[in-house]
Every structure is written in structure tokens, then in C-alpha cells.
Amino acid sequence: MVYPRHAKHRVKGVQIHRPFVYGSTATPFDPSQPRPSGIPAEHTHRWTVFIRPLTPDQDLTHWLKKVQFKLHETYANSSRMIESPGPFEVTETGWGEFEVQLKLFFVPEANEKSQTLWHGLKLHPFGPDAERQRLERATIVSQNYEEVLFTEPVEAFFEVLTSNPSMMGGRGSKGAKGAKQSSLAMSRRQGTERTAEVPVKDSKENPYSQEKEMAEVARLREAYKKVEAMIKQEKGILAEKEKKREELGKESEG
Ligand code: SLL
């Protein structure tokens, strides 16, 4: 049976997330990668700012229509629109770091407003490895894992999101109460939900994995315990001081 897909009907109780990576890479000009002729002498780096799938089998174009990269106003045509199918990236040369605004526009079926992200373009080494990277004139990578969350997507978009066979997997839409969607019903019957998965283990190309996520959760739990212990201790000290203050108050009354 085929249900008509309505553009405005939302699939109740469903949340679908789609992972992606955003960030930048930057390489300094040097004798092995000289500044091409025509590039201003003050430009020190070539850089790329991007939005990419987490793994090569994930296809952002199911949900991503275009990305507007807003560069620093020192750049000509500082607002760059990159349309599907991408790659959703801008490569430039320059001398300075700045905040890039990335505005994500979704496919029309999504019936969703655009979402904005910011990325601090990194040209110079940072973090514990900075000295070695400086010496090696390494490519500087600064990137983040992110997920776009579609809450109660409209039926047509739900179909688009869930009917891509390369995305069968474990994590994904939750809840799904009372929806009479065909693919939702099917995925329930199969005990699976079609989704974009975070790989179990990370790799050289993709540092984001379920294992890393679990380690992060464990770290946060530990930190939470520590903070709770500190709060308890501080509360004890406070109670003691309150008691003393009361005693002093009574003494001065008496
Ligand atoms: C800084 N606040 O002073 C930052 C601004 C701007 C970087 C950095 C321009 C290249 C061009 C360029 O590299 N701008 O003019 O073509 O560090």
C-alpha cells in the first residue's frame, strides 16, 4: 500500500540526525609548495573550509541543498554559495585567521529553515603538537563533528532520509509513535532503522567513532562525579560556617 506523502504532515515522535564534519585545512607556502604567480606576496597560506560527510559512503545531498560560506570582508565576493552536489568547500589563499560563517540550506522537501555554524579558520599550529607542526610546515587541520537534527520531519522528507540503502544502520530515529509510514513500519518489522551511522572504530581519515564517543561519555561521567564530590565538600564547609555565624550571633546578643 502506498500512502500519499503530504508536504506538511510531520512524522510524529521521530527525530532523525545526520552526522557531518566541518572545519578547515591550511598549508603554508614554502619552497616545496611555492606561492603561485598572481597570488599577493602577503599571502602565506592556502586553505580550504568545508562541510564533509563523516565517511565516504554517506551522502550529504539527501538533505543538504547548498552552503553559504561567508569569508572575511577582505576577500572579494566574500559570500560564496556552493550548491549541491558540492563538494561543499571553498579554497582560498590568505594571510590571516578569521571566523567563517557557514549557512546550511536544506533540500526543499525538508521544509526546514537554514541553520548557521561558525568555524574559526586555523592557519597556525595549535595544541600539544604545535612545535613539531611548525617545524614540518604541516597542514593544519581544524575540524569538528556535528549532527543536524530533524525533529518530526515532514513525510516526504522522512521518505528521502530513510530510503537510502547506503545508510542502513543501528543509530538513528527514535520514538516513532503512531506513524503510519511505510518505511518506518518496514524498519520496525526488520528491527532496524535506516540511518547514517557513526563508525564503531575511527580511522586515519575519520577520527569520529562510537568508541571515541563512549570514551568521551566515560570522561564526562568521571568529571561529573568529581564535580559532585567538590560540591558536597563545599556544602559541608558552608554549613560549618553558617553554624559558626549563628553561634557568634547568639554570643553577641547575649
Ligand atoms: C586578522 N582579524 O587580522 C583577522 C583578519 C583577514 C584575513 C584576517 C585576506 C586576503 C586577501 C586575508 O587573508 N584576510 O586580501 O585577499 O588576523
Q: Whose CA is nearest to atom 8 of ligand 1?
A: 96
172 vs 194: CA distance, rounded Å: 7
Q: What is the pLDDT at residue 195?
A: 56
From the CA of 72, give the closest atom in ligand 1.
Answer: 6
Which DSSP letter does residue 110 get?
G
**Cell triple for 98:** 578569521
Q: How far is ligand 1, taken at its centre, from the CA of residue 93, in Å?
A: 10
3-state SS class at 219: helix
pTM over 0.75: no
Q: What is the DSSP letter of 139?
A: P
Can you say how many angstroms the Cα of residue 229 is from the centroid of all Cα atoms in its chain?
A: 32
Residues with CB under 6 A from ligand 1: 72, 74-75, 94-98
Residue nearest to atom 14 of ligand 1 (CA): 96
User: Which of the four pLDDT bands, split at 50, 70 and 90, describes residue 182?
Assistant: very low
The CA 42 to ligand 1 mean position distance, Å, reads 10
As a whole number, the mean pLDDT across the chain is: 85
Residue nearest to atom 3 of ligand 1 (CA): 96
For the stretch 101-138, pLDDT in tens is: 999 999 999 999 999 999 999 999 998 889 999 888 89
